[in-house]
Structures are given as C-alpha cells and as structure tokens.
Amino acid sequence: MTVSGSDLKIGDAQAASWKDETSQSCKVEITFTPTGGSSKTITSGEKIAEAGKLTVKVTDDAGNSSSKEITLTTIDSVPPEISVAIEEINVVAGLAVTIEGGQLKIGDQAVASWKDDYSEECEIKLFFATEGVEEQTVEPGSALSNAGTLTLTVTDSQGNESTSEIALTSVAVTGLEALKDRDFQVDSKASLLD
C-alpha cells in the first residue's frame, strides 16, 4: 500500500484518490482493521497481507476531513515454500517422523521446513511409498522401517499446495543393536542358537 500525492494504491491498483480546492496539501491517516482483529495505523509502503477494512481519512489545512472505508479480501494464489535440507537420507529402522515448529524431522534431524506469506498455520500431510506397495499416509510420530519415498505436502489456508519428496534409504543395523529385542537360546557350549 502506497500513498503518492493524492492517490492511494494497493499493489498497482488505485484504491482511492482525493482532492481539495483550497489546500495545497492534505494530511492522510490510514488505519487497517484485520477481520476479527484490532485496528492499527499504517504508513505508506507497509504490506497488508490479510483481509480486513482499510480506512482512509484525509484532512485539509482548515481541519475539514473526510473518510472512506475500503474492504480488502485476500486473494492468495501463492503456494507455501518448502525448503528441503536433505533430499536423500539414510534411515535406521524405527526412527520417528515428527513435525515441530514448521519443520519435518526424521529422528532428531530436520530434513525439511516450510513457510507461507499469508498463512501462519498450514495443513501438513505425509505419504510414504515404496516399490510394489501402495502409497500410505504417515501420521506424525510414526516410525519408518523401509526404504522408499516420503512425500511432504503443505497446504495453506487458501488451498494453495506445495509438495516435495525425500528419498529414504534403509540402513541395516549391525553389531549388538541388531540383536536387541530378540529371543535366544544358549546351549552348553555358549554359542547362540536362533
């Protein structure tokens, strides 16, 4: 939103103009009230990124004033931006997939994050696919166990959607960790029988 001379523009569109035959200049006050929020004074050059009411009050040198209200609706056609930190990750079976503060984590490692210019809260969906198996929804907190592709879908409040894929490579667990949680029988010669 910009004020130039006797014009108010929102983006490239002229939203309001004024004239006064007796004053060289007029004082312009602009307040913005977001839908369901409190009004605040804004200045030329400030970005308005939500729906609400814009009130323009113009006062001439003699103190005479006039006000007009402009209703703003948000038309957001820009999808959220996903940043993938790691496009392929080695996954040890049992690591959980979590969503914390705008980040997708596998175990303790952040593998992707997202942001949206207009929506504070985005809907997050995760899908897992592996060769020969139909794609499945992954709930946050679920453990991964196979190699495949994890698809992250982020949808903002206007329905704009972005998708990104992360390749998962399964890592074989070796050493004592591989023996964890298994039942064994020990014979008198102390060799392990499975």
State the Cα–Cα distance between residues 137 and 143, nearest whole angstrom. 12
pTM: 0.57
Within a domain: 182: no
Indicate the DSSP class of residue 23: -
Residue 20 covered by a domain: yes
Name the residue among 109, 92, 97 with its Cα closest to residue 177.
92
Q: Are 143 and 166 in the same domain?
A: yes
Number of structural domains in the chain = 2
Q: Are residues 65 and 91 in the same domain?
A: no
Q: The domain containing residue 90 runs over which residues? A: 81-173
Note the pLDDT of residue 57.
Answer: 92
Quick one: 104 and 68 in the same domain? no
Tens of pLDDT along 102-151? 899 988 889 999 998 777 789 999 999 988 888 899 998 888 878 889 99
Positions of the chain with pLDDT under 50: 175-176, 178-179, 190-194
